[in-house]
Amino acid sequence: MELKVYYQKLRQVEGGIPEPYVVVSSLGTPDGGRPGVLTEVPRALAAKLIVEGGARLATGEESQEFREQVAEAKRLAEQAAAAGRIQVTVVSDRQEDGKKQKAKSKVPQE
């Protein structure tokens, strides 16, 4: 492909993408690319992938489903991180009895 034609196509495709970030679906390629893998990418990269034949724009339904999956994964990751911050102290009965004994001995008796 001639460079001038390549960059014209690139600008044309990029101009047709209204959002700054879009979801693309990969196409099968001879060098081992897996078809159907969804990824959110910037407009310029999406245009490059489309012009080079490595991806296509995802449909509205595919995009919505992908973004819902990403939101769910993010929510689960945040929950896991929050669960990792919880601190628990385990106190055995013996330790508890020892603390009670010390507390009783410090209280003045009348």
- Please tell me the distance from the alpha carbon of residue 59 to that of residue 13, in angstroms, as a whole number: 16
Q: Is the pLDDT of residue 109 over 60?
A: no
Reported residue count of the chain is 110
Domain spans in the chain, listed from the N-terminal domain onward: 1-69
Query: Could you read off the pLDDT of 40-65 as tens digits, one per residue?
Result: 999 999 999 999 999 999 999 999 99
Q: Is the pLDDT of residue 71 over 90?
A: yes
Element (H, E) at 38: strand 38-42
DSSP letter assigned to residue 30: T
- Bigger pLDDT: 58 or 104? 58
User: Is the CB of residue 34 less than 8 Å from the CB of residue 28?
Assistant: yes
